[in-house]
Structure 1
Amino acid sequence: MSTLSLWTRRDPFAEFDALFRAARQPRGFVPAAEVERDGDDALVRLELPGLDAERDVTVEIDGGRLVVRGERRDERTEERDGRSLREVRYGSFRRSFGLPAHVTADAVTASYDAGVLTVRVAGAHAGSGARQIPVTTGTAAIEQPAA
């Protein structure tokens, strides 16, 4: 036999949790990104339509991370009958991606074409292939490396 309850106990922290989650939601413009492997290189593409890449976008290496930041500006001043509908987001954005320790700024190039920023990180996957580790059997002890 199972018991079914027709009421739910109210969580006193539910409203606080909802407010906290809402505060952590990104506001403004957050560009879509994709990361893919191209041989030993990593390609990061961000959709940035309508931006002036030279004026509004910065690509840099900071603390072992690839950081792309910028701003989509709303420079329109006209209004029509006092009404407007906006589905395009404006504002500052920042996206960051972890990098292997061996990557330097010299390995990074960026280009912008048809609203897409493409960042190539040369050699990001170099030496990252799988390596098989031999497994010993029996009572053989694992040797500790010399200190």
Structure 2
Amino acid sequence: MTTTRTGFTDVDRLVRDLWTTRTARPAARPETGFSPAADVYRDGDDLVARFDLPGVDPASDVSVEVQGRRLVVSGERKDTRTGSAEGARVRETRYGSFRRVVTLPRTASGEDVSARYDAGVLTVTVGGVLAGPATHRVTVESGPAPVVEHAETAPEESAEEAQA
């Protein structure tokens, strides 16, 4: 039997080993760290940031703060399972501390911020930060231009005033 080698043989082996090692021994080296997915978008004049945080207790495990021009959402997703993970074949759920930062526009004051947690999604709304400057409408008048009267002084008077 002849073994044919190509330029991709080593790469194929590396990828195969990576996937089989990862699924065969996940409990031996659990993944740490958690970074929730986020969507940031505009809703009228408000900035809305949504974070996927399933399995998190918002009252005790999540902090929402405005620090200058930064919206900081931090907390921890705790592993509440009882028992050992030694028998697990695949472990994809991540646990641990997280911190996400959203830069706010210069107009943000941090006064009008609200947060709501529903069905595993944290929604933070920063009110009015995307509103532009107030618009002031100027009335345009029509008709002939106003006449500006210009009073000329006699040349002798100007010279006398200049010497005085």
Q: Give the shorter-chain TM-score range.
A: 0.5 to 0.7
Q: What is the percentage of aligned positions where both structures have the same residue?
A: 55
**Scaled by the length of structure 2, what TM-score is found?**
0.58
* RMSD of aligned Cα (Å): 1.8
CA distance in 1, matches of 2:44, 2:110: 19
Structural mapping, 1:1-147, within 5 Å: 28-79=33-84, 82-84=86-88, 85-127=90-132
Structure 1 residue runs without a partner (length 5+): 1-26, 129-147
Aligned-residue offset at 1:71: 0.3
CA distance in 1, matches of 2:112, 2:68: 15
Aligned-residue offset at 1:58: 0.3
Aligned-residue offset at 1:107: 1.3
Alpha-carbon displacement from aligned partner over 1:4-59 (angstroms, at most 9, x marks no partner)? xxxxxxxxxxxxxxxxxxxxxxx511000001111000110000001000110000
The answer to whether the 8 A contact 2:52-2:121 is kept is yes
Q: Identify, as 1 or 2, the structure richer in helix.
A: 2
Structure 2 residue runs without a partner (length 5+): 1-31, 134-164
The answer to whether the 8 A contact 2:107-2:130 is kept is no
CA distance in 1, matches of 2:67, 2:57: 23
- In the comparison of the two structures, how many residue pairs are matched? 102
Moved over 6 A (4+): none
Greater displacement, 102-111 / 115-124 = 102-111
